[in-house]
Amino acid sequence: MLAAPQIIQTTAQAAAVIQLTVPHGELMSALTAQGVEPIGAVFAHHLTMSPDVFDIELGMKVSKSVKAAERMKPDELPATKVARTIYSGPYEGLPSAWGEFDAWLKANGHEKAECLWERYSVGPQSTPDSADWRTELNRPLKNLPAGAMP
């Protein structure tokens, strides 16, 4: 189930990211070693999305800048205009939720950028009931429909 999508302007957000396949806990260990606190849930930033390749960063918002250490590097989610919605349900439903969200974007005259990110705000770390899981879906936009307010 999707919440009503919104078009919003994001601000740049300092982040620490790791690109490629990531063993569970690697990012948290790197943050802990630097005394940096995560802010909020883990996110997946898909730099490109194609049927053949995932080019993805796994990250967390952080309380202060980090120094590059092993595979962790400082980065940020971009300040950009995005369409955002909340998907409620298990992770297996995310592909359908993205499809529904992309259909909404197209029907409303929005051209999506190549990247996207999802933030896992409520998941198995919070509750075992997958019906209660919440994932924030963010799709940067290339344009606004004619007559739309920025």
The model's pLDDT over 115-150, given as tens digits with 9 standing for 90+, comes to 999 999 999 889 999 999 999 999 999 965 555 544
Q: How many domains does the chain have?
A: 1
Residue 97 domain-assigned (yes or no): yes
Cα separation, 78 vs 59, whole angstroms: 13
53 in any annotated domain: yes
d(CA 19, CA 27): 11
How confident is the model at residue 113, as a pLDDT?
Answer: 92
Q: What are phi and psi of 94, to 5 degrees?
A: -60, -45
For residue 17, the model assigns a pLDDT of 82
CATH number at residue 35: 3.20.80.10
Instruction: Please report whether residue 58 resides in a domain.
Output: yes
Mean pLDDT by 10 residues, the chain (150 residues): 90 82 78 92 85 83 93 91 96 94 95 93 92 96 61
Give residue 121's domain range: 6-140
Element housing 117 (H / E): strand 116-122
- Among residues 138, 53, 139, 135, the alpha carbon closest in space to that of 92 is found at 135
- 147 in a structural domain: no
Q: Which residues pair with 134 in a beta bridge?
A: 88, 122
Please state the pTM of the whole predicted model.
Answer: 0.77
The reply to whether 149 falls in a domain is no
Residue 150 included in any domain: no
Is 148 part of any domain?
A: no
What are residue 7's DSSP bridge partners?
Answer: 83
